[in-house]
Amino acid sequence: MTLLLTLPAILIVILIGFVPVFKAFLDASIVDGLLSVSNFQYIIQDNGFFFSLKISILWAFLNTIIILCLGLLIAHFLNEMKRWKTLYLALLVPWGIPLYIGVPIWRSIIHRGSGFSPLNLIGLDINMLTDPMSAFLSALFVSVWFGLPITVFVLWGAMATIPKGLTDSVKLDGGTNTTLLFNLYLPTLKPTLVTMFVLNFLKFMKEFSVVFLMTDGGPPLVSGFTKRSIIGATTTLDIFIYDIFMGRNETGIVSAYSVLTLLVVAFMMVLWFLSSREKPNLIFLITITLVAHLAVGGCSGLIIGPLYLLTFYRRGCFAPVLLADIATNLITVLSLGFLKGLNPATIVSFLVFMIIRKQAGSQRVFRGSERAFKIMKYLLISGVIIAALLPLVHLLWISLSAVSTTFIDSPLPKFLTLGNFKRVMKEERILRVFFNTLLVSALTGILTPLLTFHLASFLRKHRGTFSDLMIVLLNMAGVIGGMHTLVPLYNLFNSIGMIDSYFPIILIYSAHAIPFSVFTIRTYLSTIPASLEDQARIDGLGSVGYNYRILLPLSKPVLTTSFIVAFLGAWNGFLVPLLFIFSDSKYTIGVKLYSYVGSLGSGYTQWNLFGAAAVINLLIMGLVFYTFRGHLGKTPLSEHYE
C-alpha cells in the first residue's frame, strides 16, 4: 500500500521530466511515418545552433566563475563580520525579487531607452539595442546579481562547519585574511566549490528568463548571420530554440534542436555526477574531454584533443595540455572572431581539470596586504548594498510617476501620483491576475507535499535498487528541464487540447518542486526516532497508519516548508505561463507584468503601471513570508513546537 501511494509523484516526475525527452527524439526522428535523419541534416547545414552553443558555454562559464569568486569573498566577509545583518539583507533582495520584476527594472536602469538612462547621471551611456558587447555584459551583470545570493549562502554555511580552532591557529601564526581565504577556506571548500561550479554551469547553460527579459537575444553579431538564422550577442541555446519554436510550425525541426540541446545538457549532467564522486574516474573524464574536442572542437580540437591522451600515462600532463589548449583557443578567436574561432571544448577541459584537482591542496602560504583586503572588502560590500537598494528605489519611483518614464532626475517624480495603483486595480483588473496566480500557486503548493510525503517516507525507510533508482531519477529531473523540454511538453499537451489552461502549468511546477520536497522531507523524517515506529507497531498501527497518525502531524513544519517553496516557485514562474497561456483573462502576474514593458525593443511601454503592479506583488510576497515565518526552522519533537 505504501509503495502504491508513491506512484503519483513518480509518474508526474516521469511525465514532466522524461517523457518530453522521448517525444523530442520521436518527433525529430520520424518524418512521414518513417525513421529519418533529415531534420538533423537540416540543422547541421546551418551554423546557427553551434554559434548559440558557443555563446551559451561562454555565458555559463563567465557567470559561474564570477559568482564563485565573488561568492567566496562575500561568504568570507560574512563569516568574519560581527555585524553582518545589513549585508545579509542586501543579499536577500535579489534572492527574493522575481525575475519578471528584477530584470525589467535593471533593464530600465541600464539601457538608454528614449534617449535617457539613470546611468547617464554618472557618465555611462549604454545602448543594448545597438552595442553587442554592452548587451552581453549588462545581461551578465544582472544574471550574476540574481545568482550570487544562493552561492554565498551555501559557501557561508560550509565555512561555518570549519572548527574555529583552525581559524584561530592561522591567526596566531601571523596569517592574514588572505591566508585564511587561500590556505584554509579554499582547500577545505574545494569539493563544495567544484560541485557548485558544475551545478551553476549547468544552470546557466539553460538560462532563458534573464536573457529574454533583458536583451531578447541581443543585437545581431557581424558573424552571426547564417543561412537560416540570426545570432545575437545573447542568443543562448534556449533563446535560440524559443525563436525557432515561435517562428516555425515544423515540429520535427524544433524537436531536433531540442534533442541536440538535450544531448549537451546530458553531457554536462555526466560531469556533475562525476564531480560528486569522492574519487573521480580519470579514464572516463579524459575520454569525455577527448569526445568534446572531436565533436565540437573543429580543426583545433582535432589537434589538441588527442594530446589529452598523454594524461593516461602521466597525470601531471593535463595542466600543460590545458594551457596549450587555452593558448590555441585565444589565437583562433583573435584570428577568426569569437563565433568561428571559439572552441567550447576548452571550457569542458577546464571543468574536467577542476574535478581532477578538487582534492589537491596548495603548499604555498599566501600573506596578502590587510589594507588592500579591507579596501576590497568595503568596496564589494558597498557595491552589494547599492545594487540591492537601487532597483527597489527605482521601482518605487516609477510606480509613483504619472508619466511612463524610467529616467530619474529628481528625488520624487515631478508628477507624483497614486493613480497608477488605482488604474491597475480598476482598469487593468490586476486583482483577477493575482487570483489566477494564487490559484496556480496554491494548487501547486498543496499538491507538492501531498505527492511527496509518502515517497519521502518510503525512501527514508527502504534501501535498495528501487530507492537508489528513485534518487537518481529525482536528481536528473531537478536539472534536466529547460526550454528544450518545454517545447516537446507543449506539443504533447497541445495534441490533447490542454493548451491555454492551468492544468499543464500546475503539473510542471509541481514536478519542478518534487525533488527538493522529497529530499527535504526525507532528511527531516530521518531525525525522528525509530522507536516511535516500534511503539506504533506494538499499538497495532501499520505502515500507512503510522505515516498518517504519527509522522504526518510531526512533519507539519517541513510540509509547510515544502508548500512555501512550491507556492513561491509557481508564483515567481514566468517561462511556463508565457508558453502555455494565450488568453488575457488567464494571465498570471509574471506574464501580465511582461505585457506592460515587453522586450528590449518594444515601442509602447507602461513603466508606471508595471511599477505599481510590481510593488503590489512584492507586498503580497512579503505577506506570505511573514505569515509562514513561524513554521520554518522547527525540528520534530521540539519543545517549542505545539
Within this chain, do residues 504 and 622 fall inside the same structural domain, yes or no?
yes
Q: Does residue 591 lie in a domain region?
A: yes
Q: Is the pLDDT of residue 254 over 90?
A: no
Looking at 231, 258, 279, the residue that finishes a domain is: 279
Going by pLDDT thresholds of 50, 70 and 90, the confidence category of residue 637 is very low
Classify residue 155 as exposed, middle or buried by CB count within 10 Å of its CB (0-12, 13-18, 19+). buried
Kindly give the residue spans of alpha helices, DSSP state H, lying in 81-179.
85-96, 99-110, 132-160, 164-172, 177-179
Looking at 279, 310, 339, the residue that finishes a domain is: 279
Within this chain, do residues 600 and 466 fall inside the same structural domain, yes or no?
yes
Span 52-89, pLDDT tens digits: 989 999 999 999 999 999 999 999 888 887 778 889 89
**Contact predicate 304/293, CB 8 Å:** yes
Within this chain, do residues 13 and 127 fall inside the same structural domain, yes or no?
no
- Transcribe 475-528 into DSSP letters: HHHHHH-SHHHHHHHHHHHHHTT-TTSSHHHHHHHHHHHHHHHHHHHHHHHTTS
Tell me the whole-structure pTM to 2 decimals.
0.89
What b/e readout covers 549-558, taking b as 16+ CB neighbours within 10 angstroms? ebbeebbebb
Look at residue 635 in the predicted model and tell me its pLDDT.
43
Span 9-27, pLDDT tens digits: 889 988 898 898 898 889 8
Task: Give dist(CA 45, CA 102) in Å, integer.
Answer: 39
Q: Does residue 642 lie in a domain region?
A: no
Within this chain, do residues 482 and 607 fall inside the same structural domain, yes or no?
yes
Mean pLDDT for all residues in the chain: 85
Q: Does residue 11 lie in a domain region?
A: yes
Helices and strands, number each (H, E), in the chain: 33, 4
Going by pLDDT thresholds of 50, 70 and 90, the confidence category of residue 550 is confident
Lookup result for grid cell 572588502? 377
Within this chain, do residues 173 and 139 fall inside the same structural domain, yes or no?
yes
Going by pLDDT thresholds of 50, 70 and 90, the confidence category of residue 188 is confident
Q: Does residue 193 lie in a domain region?
A: yes
Within this chain, do residues 155 and 205 fall inside the same structural domain, yes or no?
yes
What secondary structure, in 3-state letters, does 287-340 show? HHHHHHHHHHCHHHHHHHHHHHHHHHCCHHHHHHHHHHHHHHHHHHHHHHCHHH
Span 413-457, pLDDT tens digits: 888 899 999 999 998 889 999 999 999 999 999 999 998 988 888
Name the residue with higher pLDDT: 58 or 185: 58
Span 263-287, pLDDT tens digits: 888 888 888 777 777 777 788 888 8
Within this chain, do residues 19 and 55 fall inside the same structural domain, yes or no?
no
List C-alpha distances in Å: 263 to 8, 252, 254, 484, 485.
Answer: 28, 16, 15, 10, 12
Q: Ramachandran region of residue 112, left (φ > 0), alpha (ψ -120 to 50) or beta?
A: beta
C-alpha cell at 54: 558557443
Q: Is the pLDDT of residue 633 over 60?
A: no
Looking at 222, 245, 279, the residue that finishes a domain is: 279
**Contact predicate 454/516, CB 8 Å:** no
C-alpha cell at 351: 571543468
Q: 566: helix, coil or strand?
A: helix
Within this chain, do residues 130 and 10 fall inside the same structural domain, yes or no?
no
Within this chain, do residues 63 and 17 fall inside the same structural domain, yes or no?
no
Within this chain, do residues 14 and 57 fall inside the same structural domain, yes or no?
no
Q: Is the pLDDT of residue 362 over 60?
A: no
Going by pLDDT thresholds of 50, 70 and 90, the confidence category of residue 118 is low
Q: Does residue 543 lie in a domain region?
A: yes
Q: Does residue 91 lie in a domain region?
A: yes
Q: Does residue 581 lie in a domain region?
A: yes
Within this chain, do residues 125 and 261 fall inside the same structural domain, yes or no?
yes
Domain that holds residue 461: 2-28+426-631
Within this chain, do residues 164 and 77 fall inside the same structural domain, yes or no?
yes
Pick from 107, 111, 132: nearest CA to 120: 111
- Domain containing residue 84: CATH number: 1.10.3720.10
Q: Does residue 37 lie in a domain region?
A: no
How many structural domains compose the chain?
2
